[in-house]
Amino acid sequence: MQGIVIDIPDKEIKIKRLVEKYEQMCSTLDENKKKVVKKLYTEAAFMEVTLEELQARINKEGAIIETTNGNGFPVILENPAQKSYNTMIRNYNTIIKTLAEIIPVADTDDEL
């Protein structure tokens, strides 16, 4: 099984752009809320980009992979990327739901 090469500078740029979008959305919040929300949207941005990577890996390799166990026998397993994706998507959805409850609705067409 060959892994997907992750370009870290591109990932950091994507995360930074998402953080900037969240910051704009939070510009009308009071300073105390901004401090709390910043931690949430920084994590959400990281998760969003990471979920994209995991999804690409799953699309390429499949949700189920065939590998060899320690005894040399072939086994079929859930792709580790699939497990990571399933866990992270739940956490991401929780953060997004929390942000949606805190951040005021803007009169723009820009969607997250």
52-106 pLDDT tens trace = 999 999 999 999 999 898 899 999 999 999 999 999 999 999 999 999 998 877 5
30-57 pLDDT tens trace = 888 888 899 999 999 999 999 999 999 9
Q: Say what the pLDDT of residue 1 is.
A: 42
- What are the domain boundaries of the chain? 9-102
Q: Say what the pLDDT of residue 7 is.
A: 65
Burial 62-97 (b: 16+ CB within 10 A, else e): eeebeeeeeeeeeeeeebebbebbeebeeebeebbe
Higher pLDDT, 31 or 107: 31
Q: Say what the pLDDT of residue 104 is.
A: 74
